[in-house]
Amino acid sequence: MDRIAFKHLETKYSQHASWAVWNSHDLEDTTVIRENPSDLKTSVVMVALNISKHLPSPWRNFHSRDHARKLMYAFNQSPYRGAYMTDIIKEYVEPNSLQLQKQLSRGRLEVLPHVEMFREEMKDLGAKPEALFILFGGNVTRVFNKYLSEKFPNRISCTHYSMFGRGFTDAEWVEKVWSILESKSQVATTASEAPAFVVSNKMRAELTRLLSKGLCSRRP
């Protein structure tokens, strides 16, 4: 990515957005993003519904030791490494997705201004209509399908990374998402500039290594 374009995005969006590049030894270290500009891509955009907490430093969204660690396991060595990551709803901090859904359904939170901000963000990013959007969870999928799918038709919905409990260890979530992306990206990327998602032997070996160290668990 061009340094000038990156700086513009950092100035305007880094308190809400980030990129799918992680330091595997320190998930909160975002200097790895600035150090790998050639990895950054606009052909794949990963989208959640809203920011869950205020961020202490630029590009820290999706870079923490909580549930977001699963994103690192799933994507750091994948064809979608370097994807842009953001939320549709910004400036509204709500860690409880059920509470947020109630606010939306009761009309207490107006979603259209956030949708317009998201459109502006995609314009600044340079995301083309052919870009592939990965949507995490049913709530963001419903909003995206209603307001944004006409502009950005190439989209795949995946289980949200905050899911845990039976059937949703870290490893199980990763493998579930890999399976969805492998099967659906083959179709979605025929009309997209994004690469198809293929799970490499290196990715599977890394997941096996993490499992052997007990790093993939059902802990929230």
Question: Average pLDDT for residues 77-102, to the nearest whole number?
Answer: 78
pTM: 0.89
Inside any domain, residue 217: no
Which residue, 83, 2, 85, 102, is CA-closest to 41?
83
Rounded Cα distance between 115 and 146, Å, is: 10
| Residue 165 is assigned to a structural domain of this protein | yes
- Tell me if 123 is assigned to some domain: yes
Residue 22 lies in a domain: yes
Extended beta strands in the chain, E state: 18-19, 41-50, 83-89, 132-136, 155-158
Going by pLDDT thresholds of 50, 70 and 90, the confidence category of residue 218 is very low
Domains held by the chain: number:
1
**Sheet holding 83-89: strands in order across?**
18-19, 83-89, 41-50, 132-136, 155-158
For 151-210, write each residue's pLDDT tens digit. 999 999 998 888 655 556 888 889 899 999 999 887 765 566 788 899 999 999 988 877
Residue 158, in any domain of the structure: yes
Give the range of the structural domain holding residue 122, as residue numbers without chain letter. Answer: 3-212
